[in-house]
Chains A and B, each alone.
Chain A
């Protein structure tokens, strides 16, 4: 148990450090001198050299990397030259709407996915089961941004139930929620399909276990067997898929935010790619990767807690 935990806890920071190193090298391999970019093509050589020295670009890479890590630890991600803002400020202000979107989508995915999966497993090989399977495959195969556009078309434009752009920030809580429904729904539906399939498989497999048969044999009602005995163990793979889902959803916000014109990390990422703003890109990758690595770590720990057998591996 302890060695497993120690291994996981040690690996996470190493992976984050590796990620920072890779993106650091990639950014420095890009053509174009940041100092020249900042000063313009007509700057004198002395001024460029002075700025390079000021930015620390004249030092060897390992030294620069050390400085960068030092800054990172103090929460400083550098400055975006394109936007004339601190990268940490940019990310800090764009992070909350993205997190809210991803978490709402996740809530939808888990609620819809787990419940439909359990019902499917319980009524497996019936019309209901085939119906949900078909729906799940369809939802899983549609691009999230297209589902978003279709939701916009039907519920935003035709029925006018929900607003079609923005995040409703600055408005009331109801306003924010109304702005969330369509993007979170479009984003969550696809993952709901995945969670549903996973839940169905997992519950079906658990229902075959001996202890479930024992529970039935000793006369427990079906509902009690399902809730008390089967679901608890069926949860294990579902937790994994939920963890992966949060990572995927954070990624999915990229296109969804563009479709719904919501501010957020995804939009910031697309802007930094199109304007080749590498400082922001670097910061985003570090933060994004760090979050996903942390989520995975938490999942592993939760895993350990709900399934004691894993500790002995």
Chain B
């Protein structure tokens, strides 16, 4: 889902004009302000991150504390009511952001590091290495994300660490593909040939001469992938195959609240909204960054 305003026909002519290229030569921070989606997305992401960090301060109650006030509805004491064990839903939503963000960020970062390493090596090395790696990636891509994650959880077992690993592995293939494409694009460039001519080894070339060029698109994809990881994690928790049930998670809350859809719909509506807003944040941020990068590439041309 990329925003395509920069591709509008009306802009095609202005792109070539001198005035507009000077306009675009302004510092990038001001561009970040200009890209509304990056700004709104960044704002949402920042809010969620702050919420997760400050959870103990913000949440009015202990999210795991069982009380006798079961299934209460909205009130000034409990903003979103209480669940079947009398736990404060507002506090649980606040604390739930921690698991979603932790898994989302850790898995995406891990996949980003491993995926780009494998992809760059595969693309740069070529030959048998490339063929073998790409076939393995094809095999992984043959299974839908959630199915792959489920299968991995089946083999490794649930829990915070295993779910993070399973989710990370599930999203790695896409990152490998992008990194490989970037390596193919840059490996024949003059500066790479020059480095090879003065005797730089493959590892050095990939790390110092290709990685810096390949990094922006990889980071953008990784940002967008945080959104997918959060969705996968919530699906796994919803299915009861995520982190331990005692830990408050949005997916787990949805699964618990589901039985009370008729009497207490807030139990289902609130955690779902939390997931949606967070995912919108990462999607907008990724989209916005993508727009900015594309504009920068156009400027270079």
A residues whose Cβ falls under 8 Å from a Cβ of B: 11, 14-16, 18-19, 22-23, 26, 29-30, 124-125, 133, 136-138, 140-143, 145-146, 149-150, 152-153, 157, 193-194, 197, 200-201, 204-205, 207-208, 247-248, 250-252, 254-255, 258-259, 269-270, 272-274, 276, 278, 281, 285, 288-290, 292-293, 296
Contact = CB atoms under 8 A, between A and B. Distances in A.
Nearest to A275: B154
B8 A125 contact: yes
Contacts, number: 150
A247 B279 CA distance: 21
Given A14-B135, A18-B136, A142 B272 contact: yes
Contact of A276 (B154, B238, B272, B284): B154
16 contacts: A15-B135, A18-B136, A22-B139, A140-B1, A143-B251, A149-B261, A193-B1, A197-B1, A201-B7, A205-B4, A254-B146, A254-B150, A255-B235, A273-B153, A288-B147, A296-B142
Given A141-B276, A205-B4, 11 more contacts: A15-B142, A18-B138, A140-B283, A141-B279, A142-B276, A149-B261, A150-B269, A194-B1, A204-B4, A204-B8, A281-B151
Given A141-B276, A273-B151, A204 B254 contact: no
B2 to A, nearest CB: 7
A208 B9 contact: yes
Given A146-B254, A250-B144, A273-B150, A30 B155 contact: yes
Nearest to A203: B4
Contacts of B128: none
A202 B294 CA distance: 16
Interface in B252-274: 254, 258, 261-262, 265, 268-269, 272
Contacts of B136: 18
Contacts of A136: 1
A18 B81 CA distance: 51
Interface of B: 1-5, 7-9, 12, 135-136, 138-139, 142-147, 150-151, 153-155, 227, 231, 234-235, 238-241, 251, 254, 258, 261-262, 265, 268-269, 272, 275-277, 279-280, 283-284
B275 A252 contact: no
A289 B150 contact: no
B280 A138 contact: yes
